[in-house]
Structure 1
């Protein structure tokens, strides 16, 4: 019994070959990003990233199959993907994961007639996988990142507003400089002291809710029929059945001499050191507040100094806004422009007030 030969696949056009080669190169570059990230990790995260790299390899094969004899020499991929690969190879970390998340969200396979529906679904799922991995890193750095962004931006905006407001009154450049230095020191000290008090207060509040470390010593003497330990767990949010079952397990464990379960001794959040928070806030604020006074430090005065100070602060605000956007998975340009508008808006108000009071004095 003979079978008819399968129809030959039509030859791709030059435009198709060029496009498919570009997709193939991008998939290779994206797979390399995940392999570089995996090389800097261990355990479960490493396995997950290698799984993503394997998926990208399957996508590579799809484009190779379409290209057939036209595959030729694979290119290097899009510039942004190659840059991402260099960042992954050199630094790794949550910043690169956030960039990879944005890259997966930009995938155009859903509307690409040459890609399969499975590939489009893969890319959507990859975005969620990378989002989950990035979320772990965001959670680990949330406290320090908040202090860094808040402190630096507060220093940038508040000291720019102070320098522009005082400078607009017509005082000498030396007066503006010393005012800016005073604002830097006063703001940085205030930020440091406030952060210290905030962290210490939070720790004290949490520690007051921490179970008494010696309370477990009386557990062997409890009346097992009444089992009042269950009331403790009901007060912590367990249902009656869950509380009684958990309490019975704890009593059995302690009575047998195994001590309290680990989670019973560690049930509050670690919020860090008050001194570390104070020093970090002081330095971040000071680094931001230093930028607006740079023109006056080098001897500039008048409108050139104002324009340069505003320009330097604008660049810094755009940078911090873009970083926040990348790490939050949002469009970096939008976050950068928002940061710039808020900072310049506050500075413009004080500058106009300075002009008003300066003219009224004259």
Structure 2
């Protein structure tokens, strides 16, 4: 790769090339570390991304005339991703890398080649696809976990604020908070188990099987209903008949052969992965609800009373709501700050209504 014919590069150009060089090295390190934690196809894909970053690195090295003696540090985002890639699961790193790949500086960089600009756009789609795989694997238990934690935070905060606003003793507020934690966690766990188990059973009843193909040897090769099985799965008549004839012929020759992958007319093929495990959802809901619900009760556990306990509970829950909202934003690819503030507004809004009701029906001031 060579730089486009242009005026003599300036010192500012060379400084910019050096920044590009260290960023390409940092991104290559991220993909290399992620590849080391994977196997099979995902490992190959991530390794190919790392190789592409090395090609881009070489382009800037050629322009600089070799590796400079002094180079700037990579950006904080790139260094953070490299650190996370070697220590945590890939889903968080991939969603952050997806966001970084979407903001390529090469679109306006005259010293970048058209191939490099195209590579960056392809990299964004590849990383987006890998992140989508991770989201699909995570979605069932993650939905239950986020819902459980947020519900625990908001419902128990509303409970202790509402009870506390009536003017009852701190011991009664604490007892109410613990009771709300246990009741809510058990209810969430049981509800998630029944919900996910029911959904999985519903999906199982709609899945195709190969029972018809196993009986193919007894069918008439020209007049049979096996073709109707494939037509019911979405094949056209000609393709369904051709496939059924192949299966019958193989069966009659003594070769037991099943049909190829069932034809799906919707997204049933991977819906079990999307729904997740019933036990995982139930356990996640129980512990995440409990971990969220304990936070509003902490001030009373440590002996605070009245308005001081309420203020500390609001601060602790506010921080937790911001954290869970930001995490949802990161994993969904949305703006973390907006998701965090939305979570905070919803949680505090529900708690404020309950607190006002407690004041309205209270028997004394807090």
Shared fold by TM > 0.5?
A: yes
State the 1:289 CA deviation: 0.9
Tell whether the 8 Å contact from 2:325 to 2:339 is kept in structure 1 after alignment: yes
Indicate which of 69, 73, 76 corresponds to 2:70: 73
Classify the secondary structure of the residue corresponding to 1:90. coil
1:353 to 2:350 alignment: no
Per the TM alignment, residue 204 of structure 1 is displaced from its structure 2 partner at its CA by: 2.4
Q: Which of 151, 154, 157 is matched with 1:157 structurally?
A: 154
Aligned to 2:124: 127
User: What is the CA–CA distance in structure 2 between the aligned matches of 1:254 and 1:269, rounded to whole Å?
Assistant: 31
Unaligned 5+ runs, structure 2: none
Unmatched runs of 5 consecutive residues or more in structure 1: 1-6
Which position in structure 2 is the counterpart of 1:62?
A: 59
Normalized against structure 1, the TM-score is what? Answer: 0.88
> Which residue number corresponds to residue 184 of structure 2?
187
Post-superposition Cα deviations, 1:287-341, rounded to whole Å, max 9, x if no partner, equal 1111111111111111121111111111111111111111122222222222222
Q: Quote the offset at 1:230 in angstroms.
A: 1.3
Give the SS at the match of 2:333: coil
Change (3 A) 1:262 1:182: farther
Is the CA contact 1:207–1:268 (under 8 Å) kept in the aligned structure 2? no
Q: Does 1:36 align with 2:40?
A: no
Q: CA offset at residue 359 of structure 1?
A: 6.8
Contact 1:254 1:260 in 2 (8 A): no
State the alpha-carbon separation in 2 of the partners of residues 319 and 348 from structure 1. 20
Q: Contact between 2:101 and 2:121, CA under 8 Å: does it hold in 1?
A: yes
**Comparing 85-94 and 110-119, the one that deviates more:** 110-119
3-state DSSP of counterpart to 1:161: helix
* Residue of structure 1 equivalent to 2:290: 286
Q: Deviations over 1:224-274 (max 9, x none)?
A: 332111112222222212221222233334443424347459967435543
Label 1:343 to 1:198 Cα distance change in 2 as closer, same or farther (>3 A): same
Alignment match, 2:333: 329
Structure 1, 100-109 or 288-297: larger mean CA deviation: 100-109
2:223 is aligned with 1:226: yes
1:167–1:302 CA contact under 8 A, matched in 2: yes
- How many equivalent residue pairs? 355
Distance in structure 1 (CA, Å) of the matches to 2:208 and 2:60: 60
Q: Distance in 2 between matches of 1:207 and 1:57?
A: 46
- Structure-to-structure mapping, 1:1-362, within 5 angstroms: 10=8, 12-13=10-11, 15-68=12-65, 71-211=68-208, 215-255=212-252, 256-261=254-259, 263=261, 269-270=271-272, 271-358=275-362
In 2, Cα distance between equivalents of 1:307 and 1:178: 19
Q: CA deviation at 1:183?
A: 1.2
State the partner residue of 1:3: none
